[in-house]
Chains A and B, each alone.
Chain A
Amino acid sequence: MVSATSLTSGFGIWDPILWVLAIIIGLVIAWILWSSGFSTYKKGTEQARPYLSGNAEPPKGEVHIRAGNLYWGFTEGLKGYYQRIVPLHTGIMTDYLLWMFWVAGILLIIVMVV
């Protein structure tokens, strides 16, 4: 069904209003489920402490997984790619300009030949 809010691509239709309605219904269902649970949480008691298999809780600063530790598997998996692409970002100004000249040169050949 195409409504006034539908975005048509010529191949498909996107209606964000339906999506928003679906989100709202989902949130209402979630809220109903949540509110039907037992309210036994007591802040500041033993309940609020994380359970770490019986081990003592480390200092707060140590339990947070920092940005540098995220997605190491991704970068490790693509090590071959990153080993080639990162060194290209030299930070050297003359390299920046060299890339511009390379692109202009290659473009010139393409445009003149094709």
Chain B
Amino acid sequence: MIPGYITTNAPALLIAVPLLGAFLSPLIGKISRDARALWVLAVMTLTALIGYFVAFLVYTEGTLLYVFGATNATLAVPPDSGGIPIRIIFTLDAMSALMVTIAVTVGFAVILYSLTSDARRSGLEAYYTIFLLMIGAILGMVSTGDLFNFFVFLEISSLASAGLVAYKVEKGRAVEAGLKYLLVSTIGGIFFLFAIGILYGQYNALNMAMLADMIQWTPLDKLALVLVVAALAAKCGAVPMHFWTPDAYSMAPSAVTAMLVVASQASLYGLFRICFTLYGITLNYVTIGWVIIILGILSMIIGVTMAIPQKDIKRLMAYHAVSQTGYMLLGVGVGLAVLGDQALLNSYGMTAMEGGIFHIFNHAMYKGLLFLTAGAIIYQVGTSDLNRMGGLGHRMKWTMIFFIIGALAIAGIPPFNGFASKFLIYESVFAFSPLLSIIAMVVSILTLASFVKVFHSVFMGPPLPGNEQVREAPRTMLIGMTILAAIVIISGIFPEFFVQNLITPAAHALTDQAGYISAVLGGA
């Protein structure tokens, strides 16, 4: 049985464990490299277990509140606070639980992979510390119910991510990519901070439920929303603010890149959370919905067309990450565009949102898998240049199989999970606008074409001179890939299970603004 104090404080432990693990990691590393590896793996395993437990609590018992500093973990509004929830509050609903599940699953697979893939690098004491900080920050972003708290976790995530992008200092290109990421993140962070200041100045509150209860769509509220959308859309790599993505994704170690995908999705979560939960139907949902749809369509088209001519495997995959983010923006954007029309929301809006949210889950898994396969290839061949690869299918059979699974999933080929979410998006978006749905399908075809190119270039043909010594990736790297590949297959073959149990509750959590407010403020 799990002790009561652990179950009661599980949301706090979700952040505390990776943070504590991060800061103790250099100390443990003084004992030996193996001790540090074991420590990092143990911390990530424990974080994952807590994450699954928290998600289980949310899915079985409803929205979970955790109030820091309160004697009672559910005492959100102190009696002497004038009705304002002044403490830091974690508010975990089904959408948060889904994001926690994604973060800990990818985090565990990536850490396992990273123990071998990055073992021969120097500076590992800093690497694992920053890595665990990044995971803790992502979990904080998706758990908090406080805007300023979200900003703090966003900053931690940005700093940690920039540090990891710049980790391979060779030739300075990684440092440049890290600097670009940091600069975009910093400006985005300032935008976000201004938005918080505007809202706080008007409503005297930072808690999202409290703000949602009071927000009025004044000109200042509009300005705050614009700043938030620009900041978080840039952070999630939406076109035309995606330029940092190929730089950062291609230069970061592959394990980091897989986690950067989740960090970007945490920003996407923030964008959706603020649009739906904080503003809800008070905003001009048709206009903002279309803004998000247009960002999505631009991301899909420009992402995939820029991917096709790329010659660097990770840069190509990075552009596909931009393109796939477009699907999420499209699906959820359509849901937002019809938010105020219950009939349309029931007819196709909720399905579009489910498709977009399911795509967040699926993308984290198959894109994480693809970046890990790219990392395994680079680990063995020593280059990310597709022109210098060929015939690796003879020697890296497992990596090739994992790549095929990831490639078919991202291209939306049945029966893998990418098809299931795209199926929901195609059908529901078609009812909204057939043209948008057709664009989404064409982008999928181009995605397949692009990954056929990668498959041919890397795995097909005779083994090239210079690649004679290439071997299959080490076992721990394969295990990391196996975890993600298994999820891609299982969620593709049993999509209804995932949709019913994880996705639909998440979509309803986003649209149920009143439920979120009452969960925090109750009868206050």
Contacts and interface: CB of A to CB of B under 8 A. Distances in A.
B226 interface: yes
B46 interface: no
A71 B386 CA distance: 14
A16 B188 contact: no
B309 A60 contact: no
Interface stretch (B200-208, B367-375, B489-497): B489-497
Given A7-B495, A97-B183, A112-B222, A12 B427 contact: yes
Contact of B463 (A14, A60, A81, A112): A60
A74 B308 contact: yes
Contact of B240 (A14, A90, A97, A99): A99
Interface residues of B, number: 70
Interface in A18-76: 19-20, 23, 59-61, 63-68, 70-71, 74-75
A96 B387 contact: no
B499 interface: yes
Contacts, number: 164
Interface string A72-114: 0011001001100110111101011101101110011011101
Contacts of A6: 496
A42 B424 CA distance: 49
Contacts of B241: 96, 99-100, 103
Given A97-B183, A104-B226, A14 B495 contact: yes
A108 B401 CA distance: 47
B390 interface: yes
A100 to B, nearest CB: 5
Contacts of B219: 112
Given A10-B428, A16-B420, A75-B309, A67 B453 contact: yes
Nearest to B179: A93
Contacts of B308: 71, 74-75
B226 A108 contact: yes
Contact of A68 (B305, B387, B492): B387
Contacts of B84: none
A50 B423 CA distance: 42
Given A14-B420, A64-B464, A93-B179, A103 B240 contact: yes
Nearest to B386: A67
Contact of A60 (B222, B246, B288, B464): B464
Interface string B454-490: 1011001111110000000000000000000000000
Interface string B427-471: 110110000000000000000010001101100111111000000
Contact of A81 (B234, B288, B305, B457): B305
B223 interface: yes
B62 interface: no
B188 A96 contact: no
Given A93-B180, A99-B243, A107 B226 contact: yes
B380 interface: no
A94 to B, nearest CB: 9
A107 B188 CA distance: 15
A90 B247 CA distance: 11
Interface in B405-433: 414-415, 419-420, 423-424, 427-428, 430-431
A94 B471 CA distance: 42
Nearest to A75: B309
A5 B387 contact: no
Nearest to A60: B462
A68 B495 contact: no
B291 interface: yes
Contact of B243 (A82, A96, A107, A112): A96
A64 B465 CA distance: 11
A96 B414 CA distance: 37
Contacts of A86: 306
B287 interface: yes
B306 A95 contact: no
A10 B496 contact: no
B183 A71 contact: no
B233 A103 contact: yes
Contacts of B464: 60-61, 64
A59 B493 CA distance: 43
B71 to A, nearest CB: 43
Contacts of B454: 67
17 contacts: A7-B499, A11-B348, A14-B419, A16-B420, A16-B494, A64-B462, A66-B386, A66-B387, A71-B449, A100-B184, A102-B240, A104-B226, A104-B227, A107-B230, A108-B222, A108-B223, A111-B288
Give 10 nearest A-B pairs by CB, closest first: A67-B386, A64-B461, A67-B457, A16-B415, A104-B230, A9-B427, A60-B462, A64-B390, A66-B387, A7-B495
